[in-house]
Amino acid sequence: MAELVSYALTDKVATLTLNNGKANAFSHQLIAEFNAALDQAEKDQAVVVITGQPGMFSGGYDLKVMRESLASALALVKEGSTLSRRLLAFPTPVISACSGHAVAQGAFILLSSDIRIAVDGPFKIGLNEVAIGMVMHQVGIELAQARLPDSYFNRSVICAEMFDPKEAAKAGFVDRVVPEEQLMATAQGLARQLSQLDMRAHAGTKRKARAAFLARLDAAIEKDLTATL
């Protein structure tokens, strides 16, 4: 079976690369491998860098699973939401190096990362759920409200507007936009800097700063189990 999430450790920086076909779709297998890679990064006490393939960070959930049944869709969304919650509480810094399009769950991974760097180019970043006939799940609303300014929250969540990388930076999906040839060097350089932090202090401060937010996410995950997508 092909490896969907590769793991590379260098100088206390763990790089997780998503590789699940053309869209880098979030399937049950990819999420399981993502969690296994995070387990290893936690053991290695490494800063995490998440990236995808050139031109594609992730196009969202695996639509084959989402279309099987309501139960299968809800199960996959729960796994993805729990992954987002884990990233937000992760004991070391998490950096997303957005290598191209980041749609739906791909964009939620950006919203769940501490620092987000995106490649410049003709790429789309955002939440398209309403455009494809899905009522936004409660976890998605919580994530967007926490990271997007009000003006962009309405445009993104309620109206499903997609943004190019530079506009996505204004919207709050990413923090910095760089040329393609600088993406990984920028992310890795920042990760090496962050690896010098006192990780006990980082983890403790993150838990304190996000305690109320994480509690809202826990409640939202349970609420979404009875939702209609």
How do residues 25-41 score in pLDDT, each as one tens digit?
999 999 999 999 999 99
The per-residue pLDDT for 63 is 84
- Which residue do the tokens 């809800």 mark? 74
How far apart are the C-alpha atoms of 94 and 42, rounded to whole Å? 11
Long-range contacts: 27-30, Cβ < 8 Å, 24+? 27/61, 27/62, 27/65, 27/76, 28/62, 28/65, 28/75, 28/76, 28/79, 29/1, 29/4, 30/4, 30/5, 30/62
The per-residue pLDDT for 71 is 87
* Structural domains of the chain, with CATH: 5-224 (3.90.226.10)
pLDDT 10s digits, 163-220: 999 999 999 999 999 999 999 999 999 999 999 999 999 999 999 999 999 999 999 9
The two three-digit tokens of residue 197, written as one number = 């932090």
pLDDT 10s digits, 16-75: 999 998 899 999 999 999 999 999 999 999 999 999 999 999 999 988 888 888 888 899
The answer to whether the CB of 215 falls within 8 A of the CB of 133 is no
- pTM given for the model: 0.95
How far apart are the C-alpha atoms of 13 and 26, rounded to whole Å? 23
pLDDT mean over 146-164: 96
The per-residue pLDDT for 158 is 97
Q: Which of 36, 152, 163, 176 is nearest to 96 (CA)?
A: 176
- Which residue do the tokens 């920086």 mark? 13
The per-residue pLDDT for 228 is 64
- Phi, psi dihedral angles at 44 (to 5 degrees): -80, -5
